[in-house]
Amino acid sequence: MSQSISLYNQLANHKLFNKSVNFGLKRIKLALNLLENPEKKLKNVISVIGESGKYTTLFTLKSFIEANNQTVTTHISPSLRDIQERFYMGKNYLSHKVINKTIKEIEKLNIPLTIFECLTLVYIINASKINADYNIQETGALWRLDSNNINDFPKVQICTNINKQHLNFLKKKTLNEVIKEDVGFLSNFTNIYIGKQTPFVLKKIKTYLKKNNSRIIYPNTWKLIKKGNSFFYQDKKIKIKLNTKNVHSKGMFENVCLAIKVALDLKIDKKIIQKTLPTLSFEGRFQYLNKGKIKNKLHKNETIMIDGAHATADAKNLASYLKTVKIPKYGIWAMSKNKEPDLFIKQLKGIFEKIITMPIENESNSVSANELYKIAIKNKFVSEKSKNFFEALKKISGKKEKLIVCFGSLYNCGNILNKN
């Protein structure tokens, strides 16, 4: 068992820390008060909210800030390979030793917290010691009662795509409720950036922000344009070619554009942005495994790609990209509970020759391979089920030229990367 899994299991089995979802700010604010409010030491806080595209936006903005010779900490959730990835502290990730030490410090408060609240405190306590120029926090599912919503005056609040992916998880009945929880409680007197949305969502966002006194930048302030095979960011003054080999979907390009707009407003020079774009690489997002143990198991004419797409909007982006790939495609599908697997897989109709379903290893919240198999069959996919990744791979690997796509869960992508 890895240190990361061991540490998470330690939290899950701890008498003080609750694995279930329990929204509210009372517990974490009490803890912060007892810790003498370390969150007040964080400079230039940037909050990233929304349902899809948060990590791409956060990571891109982080890359621009660092290229500008400024320091930044980040807090993300979930992590892909290791729990350490949640806590980036300027140059390095927190070590397991420091994470453990901080958890022991939190234990002494004797406050019953959720695991997410505990991990948020791990970030805040350590980030408060760094004195970074910027501190970027990716929120959980909803903003109003999210444990990251503890800064009265963040410098920037970024809202990425809002969609239905968390409806069941949040026990909300309508998309409108999610929009209200996400943007209806954003801070006043700050800078709010709204990413690409559907017309319905954008209309609702504008309604909820009507009385907000912040500077609000809507997505019509800039645009993503395509010329031939190239994409460009463009606003009234600046045009930037999105010269990056590791961005493959329009949705990801939209998120990169959102980060560019924020970076430009933070006075990061266009030349620095242009120089940084080719270096961008997003683990678990349209990522080809071109070397390693898994690639070595495949025939020379087989290619494998992983993508953590788990929302309907993500599936649409994945389908759009895969339609441009002209060789046969085979899928390996795993998914967490509280998603919308039926609606998700409908977006991928006509893409795959066959889909192999599998459970997410070491994840109690995984949908079973059998349940996903039934959903695939119901939606007229050719499908088989498997017990694990390597069994799934064996069922579709062969001499025939193909692209194998592993999708449906960031956790499963992380497991696959660790096997590689």
Q: Residue 298, SS3?
A: coil
* φ, ψ at 65 (rounded to 5°): -60, -45
- CA 193 to CA 219: how far, in whole Å? 8
Averaged pLDDT, groups of 10, the chain, 420 residues long? 62 71 85 97 96 93 98 92 93 94 94 91 97 94 79 92 72 81 88 95 95 94 93 96 90 95 98 97 92 93 94 90 95 91 94 97 90 97 97 94 96 92
| DSSP assignment string, 122-139 | HHHHHHTTT--SEEEEE-
- CA 162 to CA 177: how far, in whole Å? 11
279 is written with which tokens? 């270096």
- pLDDT per residue as tens digits for the range 331-376: 999 999 878 899 999 999 999 999 999 999 988 889 999 999 999 9
Return the CATH architecture of domain 287-419: Alpha-Beta Complex (3.90)
In this prediction, residue 117 carries a pLDDT of: 92
Calculate the average pLDDT of the chain: 91
123 is written with which tokens? 């970030």
In this prediction, residue 95 carries a pLDDT of: 94
Looking at the chain, the domain(s) classified CATH 3.90.190.20 span 287-419
In terms of CATH, what superfamily is 3-279? Mur-like, catalytic domain (3.40.1190.10)
In this prediction, residue 339 carries a pLDDT of: 83
Strands (E) located in 56-159 = 72-75, 87-89, 113-114, 134-138, 156-159
- pLDDT per residue as tens digits for the range 222-248: 999 999 889 999 999 999 999 998 898
Q: Is the pTM of this model over 0.75?
A: yes
- pLDDT per residue as tens digits for the range 68-77: 999 999 999 8
- CA 333 to CA 259: how far, in whole Å? 30
**Single-letter amino acid code for the residue at 327:** I
Burial zone of 321 (CB within 10 Å; 0-12 exposed, 13-18 middle, 19+ buried):
buried
In this prediction, residue 169 carries a pLDDT of: 63
Looking at the chain, the domain(s) classified CATH 3.40.1190.10 span 3-279
- CA 265 to CA 238: how far, in whole Å? 12
In this prediction, residue 1 carries a pLDDT of: 43
